[in-house]
Chains A and B, each alone.
Chain A
Protein backbone atom coordinates (compact mmCIF):
# COMPACT_ATOMS: atom_id res chain seq x y z
CA UNK A 1 0.00 0.00 0.00
CA UNK A 2 1.21 3.52 -0.69
CA UNK A 3 0.41 6.96 0.69
CA UNK A 4 0.32 9.67 -1.96
CA UNK A 5 0.86 13.23 -0.69
CA UNK A 6 0.33 15.93 -3.30
CA UNK A 7 0.83 19.68 -2.95
CA UNK A 8 -1.49 21.43 -5.39
CA UNK A 9 -2.66 24.86 -6.42
CA UNK A 10 -5.97 25.42 -4.60
CA UNK A 11 -8.01 26.24 -7.69
CA UNK A 12 -7.02 22.91 -9.30
CA UNK A 13 -8.55 20.93 -6.45
CA UNK A 14 -11.89 20.48 -8.18
CA UNK A 15 -10.28 19.09 -11.34
CA UNK A 16 -8.13 16.67 -9.37
CA UNK A 17 -11.08 15.50 -7.32
CA UNK A 18 -13.15 14.85 -10.43
CA UNK A 19 -10.29 12.98 -12.08
CA UNK A 20 -9.81 10.76 -9.01
CA UNK A 21 -13.50 10.12 -8.77
CA UNK A 22 -13.55 9.02 -12.42
CA UNK A 23 -11.00 6.27 -11.72
CA UNK A 24 -12.77 5.04 -8.62
CA UNK A 25 -10.75 6.69 -5.84
CA UNK A 26 -13.38 7.36 -3.19
CA UNK A 27 -11.57 8.71 -0.15
CA UNK A 28 -9.16 11.61 0.17
CA UNK A 29 -8.01 14.04 2.86
CA UNK A 30 -7.39 17.69 2.09
CA UNK A 31 -5.54 20.26 4.18
CA UNK A 32 -5.01 23.96 3.53
CA UNK A 33 -1.30 24.69 3.74
CA UNK A 34 1.21 27.40 2.83
CA UNK A 35 4.45 26.96 1.06
CA UNK A 36 6.75 27.92 -1.74
CA UNK A 37 9.16 26.30 -4.10
CA UNK A 38 10.22 28.15 -7.17
CA UNK A 39 7.05 30.23 -7.39
CA UNK A 40 7.65 33.78 -6.26
CA UNK A 41 5.34 35.34 -3.69
CA UNK A 42 3.20 38.36 -4.39
CA UNK A 43 3.29 41.92 -3.08
CA UNK A 44 0.61 43.48 -0.96
CA UNK A 45 0.37 47.19 -0.49
CA UNK A 46 -1.22 49.05 2.45
CA UNK A 47 -0.85 52.82 2.48
CA UNK A 48 2.60 52.68 1.02
CA UNK A 49 3.79 49.78 3.14
CA UNK A 50 4.72 47.07 0.66
CA UNK A 51 4.93 43.52 1.91
CA UNK A 52 6.30 40.61 -0.08
CA UNK A 53 4.30 37.56 0.90
CA UNK A 54 6.56 34.52 0.32
CA UNK A 55 4.20 31.84 1.51
CA UNK A 56 1.58 30.93 -1.02
CA UNK A 57 -1.63 29.11 -0.18
CA UNK A 58 -1.65 25.53 -1.41
CA UNK A 59 -3.76 22.42 -0.92
CA UNK A 60 -2.22 19.22 0.48
CA UNK A 61 -4.00 16.13 -0.77
CA UNK A 62 -3.46 12.74 0.87
CA UNK A 63 -4.80 9.54 -0.53
CA UNK A 64 -4.00 5.92 0.40
CA UNK A 65 -3.93 3.46 -2.52
CA UNK A 66 -3.04 -0.13 -3.20
CA UNK A 67 0.32 -0.63 -4.89
CA UNK A 68 -1.22 -1.69 -8.21
CA UNK A 69 -3.41 1.44 -8.27
CA UNK A 70 -0.44 3.70 -7.59
CA UNK A 71 0.71 4.52 -11.11
CA UNK A 72 -2.78 5.27 -12.36
CA UNK A 73 -3.61 7.57 -9.45
CA UNK A 74 -0.31 9.46 -9.65
CA UNK A 75 -0.88 9.86 -13.37
CA UNK A 76 -4.37 11.30 -12.90
CA UNK A 77 -3.24 13.74 -10.22
CA UNK A 78 -0.29 14.91 -12.28
CA UNK A 79 -2.45 15.49 -15.35
CA UNK A 80 -5.41 17.21 -13.67
CA UNK A 81 -3.28 19.46 -11.46
CA UNK A 82 -1.03 20.61 -14.26
CA UNK A 83 -1.26 24.20 -15.50
CA UNK A 84 2.16 24.37 -17.08
CA UNK A 85 3.20 27.29 -14.85
CA UNK A 86 5.67 27.41 -11.97
CA UNK A 87 3.98 26.53 -8.68
CA UNK A 88 1.95 23.54 -9.92
CA UNK A 89 3.25 21.54 -6.98
CA UNK A 90 4.70 18.12 -6.26
CA UNK A 91 3.57 14.55 -5.62
CA UNK A 92 5.27 12.48 -2.91
CA UNK A 93 4.88 8.73 -2.69
CA UNK A 94 5.64 6.91 0.55
CA UNK A 95 5.21 3.39 1.80
CA UNK A 96 2.10 2.81 3.85
CA UNK A 97 2.60 0.21 6.59
CA UNK A 98 -0.93 -0.34 7.77
CA UNK A 99 -4.46 0.90 7.22
CA UNK A 100 -7.37 0.26 9.63
CA UNK A 101 -11.00 1.15 9.07
CA UNK A 102 -12.16 2.47 12.42
CA UNK A 103 -15.83 1.48 12.18
CA UNK A 104 -15.32 -2.15 11.29
CA UNK A 105 -11.75 -2.92 12.29
CA UNK A 106 -10.87 -4.10 8.75
CA UNK A 107 -7.20 -3.87 7.96
CA UNK A 108 -4.93 -3.82 4.95
CA UNK A 109 -6.30 -3.76 1.44
CA UNK A 110 -9.87 -4.23 2.76
CA UNK A 111 -9.58 -0.95 4.59
CA UNK A 112 -8.55 1.11 1.55
Chain B
Protein backbone atom coordinates (compact mmCIF):
# COMPACT_ATOMS: atom_id res chain seq x y z
CA UNK B 1 0.00 0.00 0.00
CA UNK B 2 1.47 3.31 -0.98
CA UNK B 3 1.11 6.15 1.52
CA UNK B 4 0.15 9.47 0.06
CA UNK B 5 2.81 11.95 1.02
CA UNK B 6 1.88 15.22 2.67
CA UNK B 7 1.51 17.86 0.02
CA UNK B 8 3.96 20.39 1.42
CA UNK B 9 6.37 22.38 -0.69
CA UNK B 10 9.41 21.13 1.21
CA UNK B 11 8.47 17.56 0.52
CA UNK B 12 7.71 18.33 -3.11
CA UNK B 13 11.08 19.98 -3.50
CA UNK B 14 12.94 17.21 -1.74
CA UNK B 15 11.17 14.46 -3.58
CA UNK B 16 11.52 16.31 -6.85
CA UNK B 17 15.23 16.74 -6.22
CA UNK B 18 15.68 13.11 -5.30
CA UNK B 19 13.74 12.09 -8.38
CA UNK B 20 15.95 14.25 -10.57
CA UNK B 21 19.13 12.85 -9.09
CA UNK B 22 17.96 9.26 -9.31
CA UNK B 23 16.75 9.80 -12.87
CA UNK B 24 20.15 11.15 -13.85
CA UNK B 25 22.31 8.58 -12.13
CA UNK B 26 20.28 5.43 -12.53
CA UNK B 27 18.70 5.54 -15.96
CA UNK B 28 18.15 1.80 -16.07
CA UNK B 29 16.17 1.63 -12.86
CA UNK B 30 12.58 2.70 -12.93
CA UNK B 31 12.08 4.28 -9.52
CA UNK B 32 9.76 6.49 -11.39
CA UNK B 33 8.05 8.04 -8.38
CA UNK B 34 9.70 8.63 -5.07
CA UNK B 35 6.75 7.52 -3.09
CA UNK B 36 6.99 5.56 0.11
CA UNK B 37 6.96 1.85 -0.60
CA UNK B 38 5.96 -0.05 2.49
CA UNK B 39 7.52 -3.30 1.28
CA UNK B 40 10.87 -1.58 0.83
CA UNK B 41 10.46 0.22 4.12
CA UNK B 42 9.56 -2.91 6.04
CA UNK B 43 12.59 -4.67 4.67
CA UNK B 44 14.90 -1.77 5.45
CA UNK B 45 13.57 -1.44 8.97
CA UNK B 46 14.44 -5.12 9.34
CA UNK B 47 17.82 -4.78 7.66
CA UNK B 48 18.92 -2.10 10.07
CA UNK B 49 18.16 -4.42 12.94
CA UNK B 50 20.01 -7.31 11.28
CA UNK B 51 23.14 -5.23 10.77
CA UNK B 52 23.04 -3.87 14.31
CA UNK B 53 22.74 -7.49 15.45
CA UNK B 54 25.99 -8.18 13.55
CA UNK B 55 27.87 -5.91 15.93
CA UNK B 56 26.03 -6.51 19.16
CA UNK B 57 26.20 -9.34 19.80
CA UNK B 58 27.53 -11.03 16.64
CA UNK B 59 30.98 -9.52 16.33
CA UNK B 60 31.24 -9.06 20.10
CA UNK B 61 30.87 -12.78 20.69
CA UNK B 62 33.00 -13.73 17.70
CA UNK B 63 35.87 -11.65 19.06
CA UNK B 64 35.25 -12.31 22.76
CA UNK B 65 35.63 -16.04 22.27
CA UNK B 66 38.97 -15.60 20.55
CA UNK B 67 40.70 -13.64 23.30
CA UNK B 68 42.01 -15.05 26.55
CA UNK B 69 39.64 -15.54 29.46
CA UNK B 70 40.94 -12.42 31.21
CA UNK B 71 39.87 -10.16 28.33
CA UNK B 72 36.42 -10.99 26.89
CA UNK B 73 34.68 -8.09 28.62
CA UNK B 74 37.18 -5.61 27.27
CA UNK B 75 36.36 -6.63 23.70
CA UNK B 76 32.62 -6.72 24.26
CA UNK B 77 32.74 -3.40 26.05
CA UNK B 78 34.65 -1.88 23.14
CA UNK B 79 32.02 -3.08 20.65
CA UNK B 80 29.13 -1.99 22.84
CA UNK B 81 30.61 1.43 23.53
CA UNK B 82 31.47 1.98 19.89
CA UNK B 83 27.85 1.26 19.05
CA UNK B 84 26.74 4.01 21.41
CA UNK B 85 29.46 6.51 20.58
CA UNK B 86 29.14 6.28 16.81
CA UNK B 87 25.36 6.60 17.08
CA UNK B 88 25.70 9.97 18.75
CA UNK B 89 28.41 11.13 16.36
CA UNK B 90 26.38 9.99 13.36
CA UNK B 91 23.31 11.85 14.37
CA UNK B 92 25.19 15.05 15.20
CA UNK B 93 27.44 15.28 12.13
CA UNK B 94 28.54 11.89 10.81
CA UNK B 95 25.52 11.29 8.61
CA UNK B 96 25.93 14.74 7.16
CA UNK B 97 29.63 14.26 6.38
CA UNK B 98 28.89 10.95 4.69
CA UNK B 99 25.64 11.60 2.88
CA UNK B 100 25.03 15.33 2.99
CA UNK B 101 25.44 17.52 -0.05
CA UNK B 102 29.05 18.51 -0.36
CA UNK B 103 31.87 18.07 -2.81
CA UNK B 104 33.67 15.12 -4.29
CA UNK B 105 35.47 14.38 -1.04
CA UNK B 106 33.10 14.97 1.83
CA UNK B 107 29.58 16.01 2.63
CA UNK B 108 29.11 19.33 4.34
CA UNK B 109 27.11 19.99 7.46
CA UNK B 110 23.73 20.57 5.84
CA UNK B 111 22.32 17.50 7.51
CA UNK B 112 23.98 18.04 10.88
CA UNK B 113 21.66 17.08 13.73
CA UNK B 114 19.68 15.28 11.02
CA UNK B 115 18.32 18.59 9.82
CA UNK B 116 15.61 18.16 7.26
CA UNK B 117 15.04 14.54 8.11
CA UNK B 118 11.53 14.36 9.42
CA UNK B 119 8.87 11.71 9.74
CA UNK B 120 7.75 12.07 6.13
CA UNK B 121 11.15 12.69 4.54
CA UNK B 122 12.01 10.14 1.93
CA UNK B 123 15.22 8.77 0.53
CA UNK B 124 14.14 6.95 -2.57
CA UNK B 125 11.20 4.78 -1.61
CA UNK B 126 12.00 4.54 2.08
CA UNK B 127 12.01 7.09 4.87
CA UNK B 128 15.30 8.92 5.09
CA UNK B 129 15.26 8.21 8.82
CA UNK B 130 15.46 4.50 8.08
CA UNK B 131 18.16 5.05 5.47
CA UNK B 132 20.20 7.08 7.94
CA UNK B 133 19.88 4.43 10.62
CA UNK B 134 20.74 1.65 8.19
CA UNK B 135 23.87 3.51 7.21
CA UNK B 136 24.60 4.13 10.90
CA UNK B 137 24.89 0.39 11.49
CA UNK B 138 27.63 0.29 8.86
CA UNK B 139 29.38 3.21 10.51
CA UNK B 140 29.21 1.25 13.75
CA UNK B 141 30.53 -2.09 12.58
CA UNK B 142 33.50 -0.66 10.70
CA UNK B 143 35.29 0.67 13.79
CA UNK B 144 34.12 -2.36 15.75
CA UNK B 145 35.96 -4.57 13.28
CA UNK B 146 39.20 -2.71 13.96
CA UNK B 147 38.97 -3.78 17.60
CA UNK B 148 40.16 -7.19 16.49
CA UNK B 149 43.54 -5.83 15.51
CA UNK B 150 44.46 -4.25 18.85
CA UNK B 151 42.63 -6.62 21.17
CA UNK B 152 44.04 -7.27 24.63
CA UNK B 153 46.32 -4.22 24.80
CA UNK B 154 44.66 -0.91 23.99
CA UNK B 155 43.62 1.67 26.56
CA UNK B 156 39.87 2.15 26.67
CA UNK B 157 40.09 5.94 26.73
CA UNK B 158 42.50 5.93 23.79
CA UNK B 159 40.18 3.61 21.91
CA UNK B 160 37.24 5.98 22.39
CA UNK B 161 39.16 8.99 21.15
CA UNK B 162 40.66 7.11 18.24
CA UNK B 163 37.34 5.69 17.09
CA UNK B 164 35.56 9.05 17.32
CA UNK B 165 38.29 10.67 15.26
CA UNK B 166 38.59 7.79 12.81
CA UNK B 167 34.90 7.67 11.97
CA UNK B 168 34.98 11.44 11.44
CA UNK B 169 38.17 11.66 9.40
CA UNK B 170 38.25 8.32 7.58
CA UNK B 171 34.94 6.48 7.57
CA UNK B 172 32.60 9.36 6.76
CA UNK B 173 34.69 10.74 3.88
CA UNK B 174 35.38 7.33 2.31
CA UNK B 175 31.69 6.52 2.64
CA UNK B 176 30.96 9.77 0.88
CA UNK B 177 33.47 8.96 -1.87
CA UNK B 178 31.72 5.69 -2.71
CA UNK B 179 28.07 6.10 -1.73
CA UNK B 180 27.45 9.71 -0.78
CA UNK B 181 27.92 11.31 -4.17
CA UNK B 182 31.68 11.53 -4.06
CA UNK B 183 34.42 10.91 -6.57
CA UNK B 184 34.77 7.12 -6.40
CA UNK B 185 31.07 6.58 -7.02
CA UNK B 186 31.30 9.02 -9.91
CA UNK B 187 34.24 7.10 -11.33
CA UNK B 188 32.07 4.01 -11.50
CA UNK B 189 33.69 2.06 -8.67
CA UNK B 190 31.36 -0.80 -7.77
CA UNK B 191 30.89 -1.38 -4.07
CA UNK B 192 27.41 -2.65 -3.38
CA UNK B 193 27.48 -3.12 0.38
CA UNK B 194 30.82 -1.93 1.66
CA UNK B 195 33.77 -4.04 0.59
CA UNK B 196 35.82 -0.88 0.40
CA UNK B 197 33.91 1.45 2.71
CA UNK B 198 33.73 -1.08 5.53
CA UNK B 199 36.11 -3.96 5.13
CA UNK B 200 39.18 -2.61 3.39
CA UNK B 201 38.84 0.49 5.57
CA UNK B 202 38.69 -1.55 8.77
CA UNK B 203 41.35 -3.97 7.61
CA UNK B 204 43.95 -1.37 6.73
CA UNK B 205 43.25 0.64 9.88
CA UNK B 206 43.55 -2.60 11.81
CA UNK B 207 46.91 -3.37 10.26
CA UNK B 208 48.23 0.08 11.12
CA UNK B 209 46.92 -0.24 14.69
CA UNK B 210 48.49 -3.67 15.11
CA UNK B 211 51.87 -2.38 13.98
CA UNK B 212 51.76 0.94 15.86
CA UNK B 213 50.54 -0.58 19.12
CA UNK B 214 52.97 -3.42 18.81
CA UNK B 215 52.67 -7.08 19.67
CA UNK B 216 51.00 -8.42 22.76
CA UNK B 217 53.36 -9.34 25.59
CA UNK B 218 54.66 -12.79 24.95
CA UNK B 219 53.52 -12.98 21.33
CA UNK B 220 54.25 -15.21 19.46
CA UNK B 221 56.05 -17.57 21.82
CA UNK B 222 53.37 -17.70 24.52
CA UNK B 223 50.30 -19.78 23.89
CA UNK B 224 47.23 -17.55 23.54
CA UNK B 225 44.50 -19.88 22.36
CA UNK B 226 40.89 -18.69 22.17
CA UNK B 227 39.29 -19.06 25.59
CA UNK B 228 35.89 -20.00 24.19
CA UNK B 229 35.53 -21.36 20.71
CA UNK B 230 31.86 -21.86 21.57
CA UNK B 231 31.31 -18.10 21.83
CA UNK B 232 33.23 -17.55 18.62
CA UNK B 233 31.12 -20.02 16.67
CA UNK B 234 27.92 -18.50 18.04
CA UNK B 235 29.17 -15.08 16.98
CA UNK B 236 30.09 -16.35 13.53
CA UNK B 237 26.58 -17.70 13.03
CA UNK B 238 25.12 -14.37 14.08
CA UNK B 239 27.38 -12.56 11.63
CA UNK B 240 26.25 -14.83 8.80
CA UNK B 241 22.57 -14.32 9.59
CA UNK B 242 22.89 -10.57 10.09
CA UNK B 243 24.90 -10.16 6.90
CA UNK B 244 21.76 -10.63 4.83
CA UNK B 245 20.71 -7.26 6.17
CA UNK B 246 24.14 -5.93 5.27
CA UNK B 247 24.15 -7.17 1.66
CA UNK B 248 20.54 -7.67 0.63
CA UNK B 249 19.63 -4.55 2.58
CA UNK B 250 22.07 -2.48 0.57
CA UNK B 251 19.63 -2.62 -2.31
CA UNK B 252 17.49 -0.30 -0.18
CA UNK B 253 14.49 -2.09 -1.60
CA UNK B 254 12.66 -5.40 -1.36
CA UNK B 255 13.14 -6.59 -4.91
CA UNK B 256 14.88 -9.04 -7.21
CA UNK B 257 18.31 -7.51 -6.68
CA UNK B 258 17.96 -7.99 -2.95
CA UNK B 259 16.92 -11.57 -3.61
CA UNK B 260 19.97 -12.22 -5.76
CA UNK B 261 22.16 -10.50 -3.18
CA UNK B 262 20.81 -12.99 -0.68
CA UNK B 263 21.65 -15.89 -3.01
CA UNK B 264 25.21 -14.81 -3.72
CA UNK B 265 25.84 -14.02 -0.08
CA UNK B 266 24.80 -17.51 0.97
CA UNK B 267 26.74 -19.20 -1.83
CA UNK B 268 29.98 -17.27 -1.40
CA UNK B 269 29.95 -17.72 2.37
CA UNK B 270 29.39 -21.45 2.25
CA UNK B 271 32.00 -21.88 -0.47
CA UNK B 272 34.61 -19.86 1.35
CA UNK B 273 33.94 -21.73 4.60
CA UNK B 274 34.36 -25.09 2.91
CA UNK B 275 37.47 -23.90 1.08
CA UNK B 276 39.22 -22.78 4.26
CA UNK B 277 38.14 -25.95 6.02
CA UNK B 278 39.39 -28.28 3.30
CA UNK B 279 42.67 -26.43 2.81
CA UNK B 280 43.35 -26.53 6.53
CA UNK B 281 42.37 -30.18 6.65
CA UNK B 282 44.81 -30.96 3.88
CA UNK B 283 47.69 -28.91 5.26
CA UNK B 284 47.35 -29.41 9.00
CA UNK B 285 45.59 -32.74 9.12
CA UNK B 286 42.31 -31.85 10.79
CA UNK B 287 39.39 -29.55 9.92
CA UNK B 288 38.84 -26.96 12.65
CA UNK B 289 35.86 -25.01 13.91
CA UNK B 290 37.84 -21.78 13.92
CA UNK B 291 38.85 -22.55 10.35
CA UNK B 292 35.37 -23.01 9.00
CA UNK B 293 34.08 -19.98 10.90
CA UNK B 294 36.94 -17.84 9.63
CA UNK B 295 36.34 -19.07 6.10
CA UNK B 296 32.68 -18.15 6.36
CA UNK B 297 33.54 -14.62 7.48
CA UNK B 298 36.10 -14.31 4.67
CA UNK B 299 33.39 -15.23 2.17
CA UNK B 300 30.93 -12.79 3.71
CA UNK B 301 33.50 -10.02 3.43
CA UNK B 302 34.49 -10.76 -0.14
CA UNK B 303 30.95 -11.05 -1.50
CA UNK B 304 30.00 -7.75 0.14
CA UNK B 305 31.10 -5.39 -2.66
CA UNK B 306 29.87 -7.85 -5.29
CA UNK B 307 26.51 -8.74 -3.78
CA UNK B 308 24.36 -6.62 -6.04
CA UNK B 309 26.29 -7.23 -9.21
CA UNK B 310 27.30 -10.87 -9.53
CA UNK B 311 25.43 -14.12 -10.03
CA UNK B 312 25.65 -17.47 -8.24
CA UNK B 313 28.57 -18.72 -10.30
CA UNK B 314 30.49 -15.56 -9.57
CA UNK B 315 29.68 -16.13 -5.92
CA UNK B 316 31.23 -19.59 -6.05
CA UNK B 317 34.41 -18.14 -7.50
CA UNK B 318 34.55 -15.25 -5.05
CA UNK B 319 33.92 -17.62 -2.15
CA UNK B 320 36.68 -19.99 -3.18
CA UNK B 321 39.14 -17.17 -3.83
CA UNK B 322 38.53 -15.47 -0.50
CA UNK B 323 38.50 -18.70 1.46
CA UNK B 324 41.89 -19.56 0.06
CA UNK B 325 43.37 -16.06 -0.02
CA UNK B 326 42.40 -15.09 3.51
CA UNK B 327 43.57 -18.47 4.81
CA UNK B 328 47.00 -17.95 3.29
CA UNK B 329 47.38 -14.48 4.78
CA UNK B 330 45.91 -15.26 8.21
CA UNK B 331 47.67 -18.56 8.73
CA UNK B 332 50.93 -18.27 6.86
CA UNK B 333 51.82 -14.74 5.80
CA UNK B 334 50.86 -13.04 9.04
CA UNK B 335 53.16 -15.28 11.05
CA UNK B 336 55.93 -14.85 8.55
CA UNK B 337 55.71 -11.06 8.64
CA UNK B 338 55.47 -11.00 12.40
CA UNK B 339 52.82 -8.39 13.13
CA UNK B 340 50.22 -9.14 15.80
CA UNK B 341 46.87 -8.53 14.14
CA UNK B 342 45.34 -10.39 17.05
CA UNK B 343 41.98 -11.36 15.63
CA UNK B 344 42.85 -11.03 11.95
CA UNK B 345 41.13 -7.76 11.14
CA UNK B 346 43.50 -7.26 8.23
CA UNK B 347 43.91 -10.89 7.14
CA UNK B 348 40.18 -11.46 6.85
CA UNK B 349 38.55 -8.06 6.36
CA UNK B 350 41.31 -6.21 4.59
CA UNK B 351 42.39 -9.07 2.34
CA UNK B 352 38.86 -10.38 1.83
CA UNK B 353 37.68 -6.88 0.97
CA UNK B 354 40.45 -6.44 -1.60
CA UNK B 355 39.81 -9.84 -3.19
CA UNK B 356 36.10 -9.14 -3.33
CA UNK B 357 36.52 -5.64 -4.71
CA UNK B 358 38.73 -6.82 -7.55
CA UNK B 359 36.58 -9.83 -8.42
CA UNK B 360 33.48 -7.63 -8.43
CA UNK B 361 34.93 -6.00 -11.50
CA UNK B 362 35.28 -9.40 -13.13
CA UNK B 363 32.08 -11.20 -12.23
CA UNK B 364 29.77 -8.24 -12.67
CA UNK B 365 30.16 -8.87 -16.38
CA UNK B 366 27.01 -10.35 -17.93
CA UNK B 367 29.02 -13.06 -19.67
CA UNK B 368 30.09 -14.32 -16.24
CA UNK B 369 26.60 -14.28 -14.78
CA UNK B 370 26.58 -10.75 -13.44
CA UNK B 371 24.14 -7.90 -13.98
CA UNK B 372 26.37 -6.48 -16.69
CA UNK B 373 28.98 -3.73 -16.72
CA UNK B 374 28.28 -0.16 -17.76
CA UNK B 375 28.04 0.57 -21.47
CA UNK B 376 31.45 0.55 -23.02
CA UNK B 377 33.29 -0.69 -19.92
CA UNK B 378 35.28 -3.90 -20.24
CA UNK B 379 36.20 -6.27 -17.42
CA UNK B 380 39.71 -4.90 -17.56
CA UNK B 381 38.36 -1.39 -17.40
CA UNK B 382 36.13 -2.14 -14.44
CA UNK B 383 38.89 -3.94 -12.58
CA UNK B 384 41.06 -0.88 -13.09
CA UNK B 385 38.32 1.28 -11.57
CA UNK B 386 38.10 -1.14 -8.67
CA UNK B 387 41.85 -0.83 -8.16
CA UNK B 388 41.55 2.93 -8.03
CA UNK B 389 38.92 2.60 -5.34
CA UNK B 390 41.04 0.14 -3.41
CA UNK B 391 44.21 2.17 -3.82
CA UNK B 392 42.67 5.46 -2.81
CA UNK B 393 41.09 3.95 0.27
CA UNK B 394 44.22 2.11 1.31
CA UNK B 395 46.48 5.13 0.95
CA UNK B 396 44.14 7.57 2.64
CA UNK B 397 43.21 5.16 5.41
CA UNK B 398 46.81 4.22 6.10
CA UNK B 399 48.05 7.77 6.37
CA UNK B 400 45.08 9.12 8.30
CA UNK B 401 45.01 6.20 10.74
CA UNK B 402 48.73 6.58 11.38
CA UNK B 403 48.39 10.28 12.09
CA UNK B 404 45.37 9.82 14.34
CA UNK B 405 47.09 7.09 16.32
CA UNK B 406 50.17 9.21 16.80
CA UNK B 407 48.09 12.14 18.00
CA UNK B 408 46.16 10.04 20.50
CA UNK B 409 49.38 8.41 21.64
CA UNK B 410 51.00 11.77 22.29
CA UNK B 411 48.05 13.13 24.21
CA UNK B 412 46.96 10.16 26.34
CA UNK B 413 48.95 7.10 25.28
CA UNK B 414 47.59 4.16 23.33
CA UNK B 415 48.68 1.07 25.16
CA UNK B 416 48.01 -0.29 28.63
CA UNK B 417 50.93 -0.89 30.98
CA UNK B 418 52.69 -4.23 31.04
CA UNK B 419 51.15 -5.09 34.41
CA UNK B 420 47.66 -4.21 33.23
CA UNK B 421 48.17 -6.35 30.16
CA UNK B 422 49.34 -9.30 32.23
CA UNK B 423 46.56 -8.98 34.76
CA UNK B 424 43.95 -8.77 32.05
CA UNK B 425 41.99 -5.80 30.79
CA UNK B 426 38.68 -6.87 32.31
CA UNK B 427 40.05 -6.38 35.83
CA UNK B 428 42.61 -3.72 35.03
CA UNK B 429 40.40 -1.39 32.98
CA UNK B 430 36.89 -2.28 34.08
CA UNK B 431 37.16 -3.75 37.60
CA UNK B 432 35.11 -6.69 36.41
CA UNK B 433 35.49 -10.34 35.64
CA UNK B 434 33.94 -11.93 32.60
CA UNK B 435 33.44 -15.11 34.59
CA UNK B 436 32.91 -15.51 38.31
CA UNK B 437 33.12 -19.27 38.42
Contact = CB atoms under 8 A, between A and B. Distances in A.
Nearest to A52: B223
Nearest to B232: A46
A36 interface: no
A44 B288 CA distance: 10
Interface in B280-325: 284, 286, 288, 290-291, 294
A49 B342 CA distance: 11
A99 B331 CA distance: 57
Contact of A48 (B223, B224, B225, B334): B334
B226 A46 contact: yes
Interface in A25-72: 44-49, 51, 53
Contact of A46 (B225, B286, B332, B334): B225
A48 B284 CA distance: 9
B12 interface: no
B151 to A, nearest CB: 14
Contact of B294 (A47, A51, A53): A47
B344 interface: yes
A49 B286 CA distance: 14
Interface residues of B, number: 17
B294 A48 contact: no
A47 B223 contact: no
B335 interface: yes
Contacts of B291: 47
B220 interface: yes
A60 B330 CA distance: 40
B290 A47 contact: yes
Contacts of A44: 225
Contacts of A47: 290-291, 294, 330-331, 344
Contact of B220 (A45, A49, A53): A49
A82 to B, nearest CB: 29
Interface in B259-294: 284, 286, 288, 290-291, 294
B220 A48 contact: no
A48 B288 contact: no
A44 B220 CA distance: 15
Interface string B197-226: 000000000000000000000001001111
B272 to A, nearest CB: 15
A52 to B, nearest CB: 8
12 contacts: A45-B286, A45-B288, A46-B226, A46-B290, A47-B291, A47-B294, A47-B330, A48-B331, A49-B220, A49-B224, A49-B335, A51-B223
Interface of A: 44-49, 51, 53
Interface of B: 220, 223-226, 284, 286, 288, 290-291, 294, 330-332, 334-335, 344
**Chain A to chain B: the 3 pairs with minimum beta-carbon distance, closest first:** A48-B331, A51-B223, A46-B225
